Structure 1
Amino acid sequence: MGLNTHAAAAHARTPHPLEADVHAWDEPDLTDDTAEAARLDFWARAAGLLDWGTPFRTTHSWTPPDSEAKRGPDMRWFEDGRLNAAVNCVDRHVQAGRGDVVALHFEGEPGDREDVTYADLQERVNRAANALESLGVTQGDRVVIYLPVLVETIVITLACARIGAVHSLVFGGFSAEALQFRVEDTGAKLLVTTDGQFRRGRAVPVKENADAAVAGENQIEHVLVLRRTGSEVSWTSEDLNGDGLGRDVWWHQIVDTASAQHEPQFFEAETPLFIMYTSGTTGKPKGLVHTTGGYLTGAVYSYLRLFAHPDPDQRDADVHWCTADLAWVTAHTYEMYGPLGAGATQVIYEGVPNVPHAGRHFEIIQRHRVTSYYTAPTLVRSLMGWWPSGIPAEYDLSSIRLGGTVGEAVNPEAADWLRREVGRDSIAADGTPALPLVDTWWQSESGSTVLSPRPEQRDPSRFKPGSVAQEMPGWKTAVVDELGTPTGTDVQGNIVVTRTGPSMARTVWGNPERFYTSYWEKYAQAEGGRGWFLAGDGARRDADEDIWILGRIDDAINVSGHLLSTIEIESALVTHPDVVEAGVAPCYDATTGHAAVAFVVLSSSGQQRSEEELLPELRAHVGEVIGPVAKPRMVIPVPEVPKTRSGKIMRRLLTQLHDGETLGDTTSLQNEPCVPQIQQICQDLKTAPQREEATA
């Protein structure tokens, strides 16, 4: 199968994205296999939400994966158009007369606050772009950004986009080892970091991790340091590239003193914008490459469709809050490029949700009149544990009109709590919660949401906590078996993306073969060789054609021929009042092959009960909710379950800890310190199985 191309339909650009009535757009019917032209016309219209320096003429081209060459598909969107991501996120809003609109309500963990308008943001991004160029950074150079959630983090990110440099953000809590891998793998010329960050009520040093990360063989010429906490730092003045500056330079001396005027360039749509590293417990993280025009189209359209008020005339009152760390792809799409590309107002918060107290998020919602609250199920479960009797009435949450979850399929208990407590002012006539909840499914690889309920269309009587419903416009998925045949109703299979959106990652940085083997190899011959993307999650479709995500394929548990979903067992456990959170892992069993082992975080009431009484009760509870076959073999109380920065429970790591196996990479976890704690618990319990030695 050769190259497929689609010429762009003529679509007038919307004067400003906040005026676009995207909720009323016709959505292509992808159940009809002949609707491909309509799908691509839809994406051409969505690309009209952006400002283009040079309009595109070709919407899309697709060269299928090549199994012999071990190469993934060559997918291109809007490739003959030219644009600038920073201009789309900042300059055009100022030019449209919206310079005085607040772009960012910043909340620092110590209590400092700042409101940044689009005009302020434009000036700061211009200064940072000039500073980057003065440090020798040019189009195509890579910049690693190792900062917490600060205004400056967004500023330097957009400054990279403005000059065509490729940015890669790294969570400020990651270890020096995790940072070093990303610096070396990207071949970065510049590392941006800080003297320290505020975390859980104290100033945590950061610069020493940065120094350790750049101590080896790398391409770093400068380390740009932001003064945030006033912590003492070591300093390297060695001139690495002959520009007369030392390796280490201060932000306030280089950025704050730069000119506030900067002339942007416009780049081809397929120009790389950023590298997003996945995390996992096996193998090295994969650096997924996202390109400018397609990614920005997906981000802006899906932000408007999911989070903006359906009535464009009401959007000036929108205040969006995505609680993710800026280094996570969710924050790239729904905390930076999506909201800022649309010209929206949003909150960014530096700290953790329970410092100085567990009501910090509710204070922020009340102060800024937040309308959309987008968070992870793991945070919702934490809030449930902190507020077992509900959120106190003293917090005014009446501004909330939409909730959202991301990271993993939300447990029904957590979904109901979020709608009932955070959305307590949205009540149906019969007294039941009526807050719309978008339970979004997507990945670092997809770049924007693939599956989600429509917030304005969800019938409360059909609300299904834990279901991600159906495809977003322009995407097409299937639930299939190992051979690619669609599974039946309520039969678990693999979810695949059969038609991608423009925000899809193009390759793995420096390793295109890994892109093929990780995502395309299994179904490379589907549809006569067009190829399908293997997402890596198990799923099922119900009788209404709604999709339920059942966790990673590797996390499914086959017990004596019964295929069990880890998420379903976890959901059953967290309905028990003594369980705040649960992670269920497939562990070795000599008789059944696998057995379900549950690691549970207990509530304060659960911690006061004897384990001899509680743990059998929890096993029985799962048997009552799902059935006897689903009862975990063991229930193990732990302080935390290990999670990625996106809030996904690392079940494979729990398997390794339980079975005494060699651990994979844990540096990308958000709560790495819990790993040795769980390891010690498993060693004390002697959970590692006795395996029979192979005989000759």
Structure 2
Amino acid sequence: MELSTEAAAPARARETPAADATPVPPAPAAAPNTGALDRLQHAARANPAAFWAERAAAIDWLRPWDAALDASRAPFNRWFPGGQLNTCFNALDRHVLAGHGARTALIHDSAYDGRATRVSYAELLARTARFAGVLRDLGVGRGDRVVIYMPMVVEAVVAMLACARLGAVHSVVFGGFAAPELATRIDDCTPKAVVTASCGIEPGRVVEYKPLLDAALARARHAVPAVVVLQRPQCAAAMTPGRDHDWQALDARATPADCVPVEATDPLYILYTSGTTGQPKGIVRDNGGHAVALLWSVKAVYDIDPGDVFWAASDIGWQVGHSYITYGPLLAGATALLYEGKPVGTPDAGAFWRVLREHRVKVLLTAPTAIRAIRREDPDGALLRGLDLPDFRALFLAGERSDADTLRWAETHLRVPVVDHWWQTETGWPIAADPLGIERLPVKHGSPTRAVPGWDIHALDADGREVAPGETGLLAVRLPLPPGAATTIWNADERFERAYFRDLPGWYKTGDAGCIDADGYIFVMSRVDDVINVAGHRLSTGAIEEVLAAHPDVAECAVIGMADALKGQVPVGFVVLKKGVARAHAAVAAEVVAAVRDRIGPVAAFRQALVVERLPKTRSGKILRATMAGIADGKEVAVPATIEDAGVLEEIRVATRALVAG
């Protein structure tokens, strides 16, 4: 789940990873050519405009588009220019008008108070139209920006859809985000209003949002005219007269707002990428291309039909939450699940399975980190024994590389297809997946399967030449990017072009290194940043992590490159043990070191593995490897704004200092 996949910005590639540095995964029997996926992929590559024009017919347009694709200013391609639509209308109004108002649109499940709320399409439409009226009365109109700083509550989705209804541009910043970083986002997108809540709930504590927001507003250069506050029962927020407004009071007297027609090329939202420091990087998504791609992907990739329950276990502040909590399922007339809780600790490692059973979830999309956390607490799957999940059909993993051991654990205990798929904040929807709604393909552990139609993926060397099948290169997408991909960075067109397109003209540089085998299966080995140079040999830290993760006592792991006077860099592994493992840490470390030597060879120079209690992660579940590497090298490292628990960094600092001293 960068999901996320909430992926960090692709880094500038200085060299191409050596072909012999990463072992090519074993090749099971070739995928059978049943034809459906191949036909769609060929059609999308041969004539992208015609392919997506056909899929655009599933969207309700207020005015037809002039052309499916305008590629005259590549890489700033424009999908469906001239067309007009409203994304909120397509997500809500059209389903109600078609007679489906009684269908459940949204389920909110809170692990903290044990309550679940079901909201029908008709009710969600009424609440959204009313809150759009609130924003309109505060002066928000088409093209204005609104920052949404909310916990995982129904009102957060209402606020997003209300912005879309007015043609306003929302920028969701996950609740609890630190004040300085929130201030930079406010200054970057200059919102006319901020929508927030008095607090969010975390295991064992209440996080007050309003003091954080007040500090951000005091720090920001941009003066926000209006703040709307949802007062939650867990705490009451202090209000600033003249600026702050009570959600319930405004909502009670609001007149519902109608949908505002917008151009297909108008921005729908700005989403700042995780891990951003310094100048924010706001990914911009348009209205038309986004609606077309998201609607198509919900069926093609996830096999979700109208009325099915789709649970993206993410936060609305991340890309997964935007695409597959708020927009994708609702565009498709399905039911989206909004969960306020954690995979473990609310109350135990069976929390996810309770939600699957009680709400008859068909597909769960989450990060591998969530499954690893569950597996660590319940390694034998005891909490799944005898559990009947008749509606559950598939588990999708995204956001980080899914190690084969975690995949096998999930397959064994869930007894459904477990699909590792690959996408990024910048792409907005999956680039590679086993597309269950098109054709189910044989599994190759370690691969997110093949390119989804619309994404023309290749492995290239540093000069843009395609490498041989199985050889490691830079994973890149041939232009034009399909609908739904980022159109630019907010207020930074030149930065957008420089970051993603300039190094490889004609291609989108994903920033990931990997290979593509003879069957077209993609293996994403690591970020380009995570390819380390050991005595002149370029090694993928992801390949070493695969070996560590396969150890029966290891719940999760991370490998970084640490500076070394002799070799330039040496790999160091950090492993977290499964719950209940009481073996000596030194014995486990020796075994994983031996396994790397056996599987990859002495060239890896892997001699150090440290057992730690936790790994530092973002709230979306990404392990902060670059931060860990900086700490290991003794650098002054700023605490990332997106970190889940900054206290974990001290453990890494102590462990690496002891390593250097020894």
- Between the aligned partners of 2:636 and 2:498, the Cα distance in structure 1 is 24
Aligned to 1:532: 507
- Contact 1:195/1:227 (<8 A) preserved: yes
Q: Compare 397-406 and 628-637 and name the one that shifted more.
A: 628-637
In 1: Cα distance, 2:412 partner to 2:37 partner:
32
Q: Which residue of 2 aligns with 1:621?
A: 595
Distance 1:317 1:96 in 2: 14
Instruction: Select which of 364, 387, 390 maps to 1:395.
Output: 387
Matches within 5 A, 1:109-128: 109-110=111-112, 111-128=114-131
Bigger mean CA deviation after superposition, 643-652 or 474-483: 643-652
Q: Is the 8 A contact 2:37 2:439 kept in 1?
A: no
Report the alpha carbon displacement of residue 413 of structure 1 after superposing the two structures with TM.
Answer: 0.9
Question: Residue 294 and residue 456 in structure 1: after superposition, are their counterparts in 2 closer, same or farther (change >3 A)?
Answer: closer
Q: Classify the secondary structure of the residue corresponding to 2:259.
A: coil
CA distance in 2, matches of 1:601, 1:644: 17
The answer on 1:485 being equivalent to 2:460 is: no
> Residue 370 of structure 1 aligns to a residue in which SS?
coil
1:100 lines up with 2:102 in the alignment: yes
Deviations 1:510-529 (A, max 9, x none): 122211221111012xxxxx
Distance change (3 Å), C-alpha of 1:465 and 1:544: same
1:404 has 2:404 as partner: no
Q: Deviations over 1:337-371 (max 9, x none)?
A: 11100110122101112212221111111101111
CA contact (8 A) 1:28 1:473 kept: no
What are structure 2's unaligned runs of at least 5 residues?
1-33
- Cα displacement (A) at 1:639: 2.8
**Aligned residues with identical type, % of pairs:** 37
Amino acid at match of 2:426: E
C-alpha deviation, 1:229, in angstroms: 3.6
1:281–1:663 contact (8 Å) kept in structure 2: no
Which structure 1 segments of 5+ residues have no match? Answer: 1-22, 66-72, 238-245, 310-314, 425-434, 525-530, 689-696
* C-alpha distance in 2 between matches for 1:254 and 1:676: 45
The offset of 1:440, in angstroms, is: 1.7
1:321 equivalent in structure 2: 311
Task: Give, in whole Å, the separation in 2 of the partners of 1:202 and 1:64.
Answer: 50
Q: 1:349 aligns to what SS in structure 2?
A: strand
For residues 479-504 of structure 1, the C-alpha deviation after alignment (integer angstroms, 9 at most, x for no partner) is 10100011112211111110311111
1:303 to 298, 301, 305: 298
Q: 1:31 deviation in Å?
A: 6.0
Larger RCO, structures 1/2 (Cα 8 Å, 6+ apart): 2
Counterpart residue number, 1:10: none
Query: Which of these residues, 206, 218, 223, is aligned with residue 227 of structure 2?
Result: 223
Task: Please give the alpha-carbon distance, in whole angstroms, between the structure 2 residues aligned to 1:30 and 1:674.
Answer: 44
Distance 1:639 1:218, change over 3 A: farther
Superposition map of 1:467-478 within 5 A: 467-478=447-458
Which whole-Å CA distance do the structure 2 matches of 1:662 and 1:327 have between them? 28
Q: For 1:42 and 1:572, how far apart are their aligned partners in 2? A: 41
Contact 2:176 2:212 (8 Å CA) reproduced: no
CA distance in 2, matches of 1:297, 1:158: 17
Equivalent position SS for 2:468: coil
Checking the alignment, whether the CA contact within 8 Å between 1:28 and 1:39 is kept in structure 2 is: no
1:293–1:580 Cα change, 3 Å: same
Deviations 1:104-156 (A, max 9, x none): 11101321210000000000000110000111111111111111111111000
For the 8 Å contact 2:302–2:437, the answer to whether it is kept is: no
> Pick from 490, 495, 498: which aligns with 1:517?
498
SS of equivalent residue, structure 2 residue 555:
strand
Query: What is the correspondence of 1:95-244 to structure 2 with a 5 Å cutoff?
Result: 95-110=97-112, 111-216=114-219, 217-237=221-241
Tell me the equivalent position of 2:68: 59
Superposition pairs of residues 82-101 of structure 1, within 5 angstroms? 82-101=84-103
**Most deviating of 150-159 and 498-507:** 498-507
- Cα displacement (A) at 1:319: 1.3
Secondary structure of 1:495's partner?
A: strand
What is the RMSD of the two structures over their aligned residues, measured on CA atoms?
2.2
Alignment-derived partner of residue 417 in structure 2: 436
Q: Could you tell me whether the CA contact under 8 Å between 1:467 and 1:549 is conserved in 2? A: yes
1:377–1:407 Cα contact (<8 Å) kept: yes
Q: Which amino acid aligns with 1:319?
A: V
Mark the CA change 1:119 to 1:224 in structure 2 (over 3 Å): closer, same or farther: same
- Matched residue SS, 2:301: helix
| Structure-1 separation of matches of 2:35 and 2:653 | 53
Change (3 A) 1:458 1:49: closer
Moved over 6 A (4+): 23-27, 457-460
User: Is 1:557 matched with 2:527?
Assistant: no
Whether the aligned pair in 2 keeps the contact of 1:574 and 1:581 (CA below 8 Å) is yes
Corresponding residue to 1:367 among 358, 382, 406: 358
- Contact in 2 for aligned 1:620/1:631 (Cα 8 Å): no
The range that moved more, 479-488 or 543-552, is 543-552
Query: What is the Cα deviation at residue 458 of structure 1?
Result: 6.3
1:287-298 paired onto structure 2 within 5 Å = 287-298=282-293
Q: SS in structure 1 opposite 2:58?
A: coil
CA separation of 1:88 and 1:667: change in aligned 2, threshold 3 A: same
Q: Which amino acid aligns with 1:166?
A: V
Distance 1:333 1:457 in 2: 20
Do the aligned partners of 1:644 and 1:670 also contact (CA within 8 Å) in 2?
yes
Change (3 A) 1:614 1:628: same
Distance 1:543 1:308, change over 3 A: closer
Which AA in structure 2 matches 1:53? L
* Residue equivalent to 1:448: 429
Superposition deviation, residue 641 in structure 1: 2.0
Task: Please tell me whether the aligned partners of residues 294 and 429 of structure 2 are also in contact (alpha carbons under 8 angstroms).
Answer: yes
AA aligned opposite 2:556: E
Structure 1 CA distance for aligned equivalents of residues 411 and 439 of structure 2? 13
TM-score (norm 1): 0.86
Q: Which amino acid is the alignment partner of residue 677 of structure 1? A: E
Does the 8 Å contact 1:584/1:597 carry over to 2?
yes
Q: What residue identity is the alignment partner of 1:625? A: R
